[in-house]
Structure 1
C-alpha cells in the first residue's frame, strides 16, 4: 500500500511553514463509542439529527474513508483506541496478540508513546475526561489533569462509576464514585468547566471520550422520544440472520436482539441509536459554545472520531465484531486553524493515521515509531492516500479494501472452534451496502488475487500473528 504523497515539495514546505509560524492551537479531541461513519447527517444520513457535527464538518475537513485497524476480542473499543492513541498497529501497540488473553487487547506497551503523551512532552496541558478503556499506566503517562474518569468498557449511563484525577496514577477501585447525571452530560459538564476555568498561557489538549452511543441506548428526554420506530427505514442490507458463522455469532452484542431479527425490534434499536447520537451531538454543541464564550473557538482544533462502528441489524448482526463497512468505517472530522472549509477527504485511511494528522496540524513532531501517515495534505486537496486499507478481527476475520473492491477472508478458529473458511468479495461501486458476494464470479478472480496479495503483505508488514495463513482458498 502506498504512503506516498504527490504534493509538491514547495506546497509541503508552505504548509509546514504556516503551521510553525503561528501559535500552536488548542485541541479538543472527541472520541465516541460505537458511532459508525454513516450515522451522521453530513455523511449522507437523512434521518439522524446531527446539526453540530454537520457544522463542524462544514467548517473543516471530513474523511470519507477512515477505517479501524481492528480488534483481538469482542471489546473492539480497547485495541481500537490504542491504535488511535499510538498511531501503531494492534500488533505493535499492545503487549501481546493472544486472542485468549484479555490483557493483550487492553494493555498498551510501556515503551509506546501516545498522542496525548507526545503533546504533553511538547508543552501542551493535557487533560482527560471520560472513558479510558486501556491500562492505567498508559493513561498516567499521557495526562497531567482530568475529571470524571471512567476506566471500564460500558456502564448504565445514569450511574457511571468515575474517578477524579490521581496525580499518583494509581486509580484504585475504592476511589470510584457514581456520577450524578447522564454520562454524556456528565462528561460535557466537566469539559465546559475545564474550558471556562482554563487560565494558562500554554495551549491545551483536551481528550473527551464519551461512552455514547454505546448501549444501553437510553437517551434522556426529549431525545428518547425523538424517533418513532415505525417511521425508521430499514437499511438495504437488513437480514433476519447472518448467512454463515463469521466466528463471533454469540458475543454479547449479538444477544441484544432476538434471532431471527425481527423488523420492528431492529427499527426500535435504530431509533434508540439515533436518539443517543442526537443527544451526543447536542452536548458537543455545548462544548462549542464554551469555546466561543471563552473567545478561543477560532484558536482551537476540534477533532471528532469514534472507536468503531456498529451493525444494529445490518447483515443480520447487532455488534461491531465484523469486517463490514458499518462496523469498520468511522467518522473523522477536523476543523480549526490550518484546516480548509468544507473539504471531503475521499482517499482510504486507517485510524492509525489520526495521530500523525493531528500532530502535523499542530506542529508537533511525530514519534519515529508511528506507523500511520498524516492526511493533512489530502485535507488540502493534494497528495495520494492509501491504495488499500486492511482490518483484523481476532483469528477469524481479515479484510482488504481498495477504492472499489473489498475482500473479506473468514477462518475457522482453532482456539474457539468457531467460524467458517470462506471468502467474500464486494463491488462497492455497484453494491455499497455489501449485499451481493461476487467472489464466485470467475471474472473477479484478478480482484481477489490482487487484494489477497495486498492482505498477505500487510499481515507481514504489521506483524499479524496470522501471517502465513493462506488468504486464497485452496
Structure 2
C-alpha cells in the first residue's frame, strides 16, 4: 500500500494464549463495524427481504448476541458516544463529552493491543479526536473523520478521506476525495493491510469501520443487490408518524423524509437502505476472502457489530434518537476459531462496550483498570446463560429506559410532560402495545430499579424530581460538551 505508514517499536514478548499451540502466535483480531444498521436487517436473523450472504456466513460460524444494546447518547449523533464506549469499554456516563474526546487515561482497546505487541491498523470512520486515533493505531489508510458523508458533496460516492499522518494533524489540505464508493475504499485498505500482514510475525488488530448503511442513501455502485420498492415488506410496526412528542421529532434524521410517511414512500427508503446493507456485505466478503487467502482465518477472532440501530418507519420514526429496539438494539457476533460455536445464538443482555474486556480475555491480555465493561467470555464458553440482569438506556435529558427479562420500560420528560411505556418484548417485539395501565405494579418496580441504576452510574438527571434536570429544557450542545470531563 503506497501510503501505509508505520512507526511501531519492536514486538513485545507475550504469554502464550491458552488453547493455542506453544509455537503459534497469538490470535489476530478483525473488528468489522458498520454504521446505523438495524439489528434485524440480516437475512440469517429472519429478514426475508434483505440479501446478506457474507454476514449470514459469519452468523453461521460464530455466536450471535441477539440482545446487544448501545448504552445511549446525550446528543443526536449516537455513533460518537457509541464508538467511544465501544473503544474504551466504558458506559455512557463514564466517557468524556459524549465521546467527542477520548482522554489519555481511557485506554482504547486497539491502544491496549498495540502496547502488547499487536500490529494495529484502521480504516474507515473515526468519530472522536485525532490524538486518540493515533494512540490507537500505528497504521491506517482511507480514514474518515466525522459523523457522516455530506449530502452536498456527493455523500458515499465521493468520500473525503485521509492517509495516515504520524503527526496526527490530518490537515484539510492533505485530505483527498475517494474515487470509489466509501465501502469499497475501506475494504481496499483492509485488503491491502491483510496482504501485508501475511509475512509479519506479529499478530494484528484490524479495525474496519464502514460508514454504510448510514445515509445519504446514495445511488448504489455496480455491486451488491438492487431492490425494488414494491417488493419490500413494510415492518409490522410501521406508523405514518410517532404517537406523541418524544423530544426529537424535528431532528435532522427525522426530516430526511418528513412525517406523515406513506407506506409507499417507506418502501422506497427501505429499498435504498437494504441496498446499502447489501453493498457493504459484498465488501465484508472481500475482506474475509483475503483473510482466507493469507491463511489467517483459523487464527483470527472476528467481531461484527453496528454502532447503533435506526428506525425505518418503525414506531413512526426515521431516525435513531429513541430507546426503541430498532435504534438502541444492535447486531453483534463474535467468532473465535479455536472454539466450536457453530451458529449459536444467545439472549444474554449485554452492552457493546462489553466487547473490550471480552477480547482481552480471549487473547490473554490483562483488562486495563479503566475498563468497566464485563467480559462475555463465560457466555461464549456456555458456562452461564445470563450476563447482566438488566440494562439502563438513556437519550439526551428527556428519555430513560430499562430492559430486564422480557420487558422494557421507557419514561419521557419533554419540558415537564411525563409519558411512560412498558412493552413485553417477547410477545410484542415491535413495541406497539403499551402495558402501563395494565401492569401498574411492574411499572413501579421497573421505574424504581431504573432510578437506582441511574444513581449508581451518576446520571445528571434525577427522575424523582418534576423536571429531572435544571429547568427541563432540552440539553444543548454547549452544555453537553462540558458534561463528564475527566482529568488526564
SS at match of 2:156: coil
The equivalent of 1:10 in structure 2 is none
Report if aligned partners of 1:125, 1:203 keep a CA contact under 8 Å in 2: yes
1:460 aligns with one of 455, 469, 476: 455
CA–CA distance in structure 1, aligned partners of residues 455 and 327 of structure 2? 24
Q: Distance in 2 between matches of 1:215 and 1:358?
A: 30
Q: Is the 8 A contact 1:424 1:437 kept in 2?
A: yes
Distance of 1:458 and 1:140 partners within structure 2: 35
Distance 1:428 1:176 in 2: 46
Q: 1:375 to 1:470 in 2, by over 3 A?
A: farther
Bigger mean CA offset, 447-456 vs 67-76: 447-456
Q: SS of the counterpart of 2:157?
A: coil
Counterparts of 1:292 and 1:65 in 2: how far apart (Å)? Answer: 30
Instruction: Tell me the CA shift for residue 294 of structure 1.
Output: 0.7
Q: Distance in 2 between matches of 1:81 and 1:471?
A: 32
What is the alpha-carbon distance in structure 2 between the residues aligned to residue 379 and residue 219 of structure 1? 39
Q: TM-score, normalised by structure 2?
A: 0.87
Q: Distance in 2 between matches of 1:72 and 1:172?
A: 29
Instruction: Say if 2:389 is the partner of 1:387.
Output: yes
Asked if the contact 1:36/1:327 (under 8 Å) is kept, the reply is yes
Instruction: Return 5+ residue gaps in structure 1 as ranges.
Output: 1-15, 97-103, 415-419
Shift in alpha-carbon separation, 1:336–1:360, aligned structure 2, 3 A: same
Q: CA deviation at 1:404?
A: 0.8
Q: Is the 8 A contact 1:82 1:134 kept in 2?
A: yes
Q: Where does 1:209-228 land on structure 2 (aligned, <5 Å)?
A: 209-222=209-222, 226-228=226-228
- The residue aligned with 1:194 is 193
CA 1:164 to 1:221, structure 2 compared with 1: closer, same or farther past 3 Å? closer
Alpha-carbon distance in 2 for matches of 1:33, 1:112: 23
State the SS of the aligned residue for 1:381.
Answer: coil
RMSD: 2.0
Shift of residue 472, structure 1, vs aligned partner: 12
| Partner residue, 1:272 | 272
Q: Name 1:249's counterpart in structure 2.
A: 249
Find the residue that maps to 1:129 and give its secondary structure.
strand
Q: 1:69 to 1:86 in 2, by over 3 A?
A: same
- Distance in 2 separating the partners of 1:45 and 1:299: 31
Pair 1:321-2:315 in alignment = no
Q: How far does residue 451 in structure 1 lie from its aligned partner after superposition?
A: 1.6
Normalized against structure 1, the TM-score is what?
A: 0.90
Q: Retained in 1: the 8 A contact 2:227–2:274?
A: yes
1:341-380 paired onto structure 2 within 5 Å: 341-380=342-381
Corresponding residue number in structure 2 for 1:42: 44
Cα distance in 2 for partners of 1:138, 1:382 equals 36
How many Å apart are 1:224 and its aligned residue? 7.3
* 5+ residue gaps, structure 2: 1-16, 150-154, 469-488
Distance in 1 separating the partners of 2:454 and 2:441 = 20
CA contact (8 A) 2:233 2:267 kept: yes
1:437 aligns with 2:438: no
Q: Give SS of 1:18's match.
A: coil
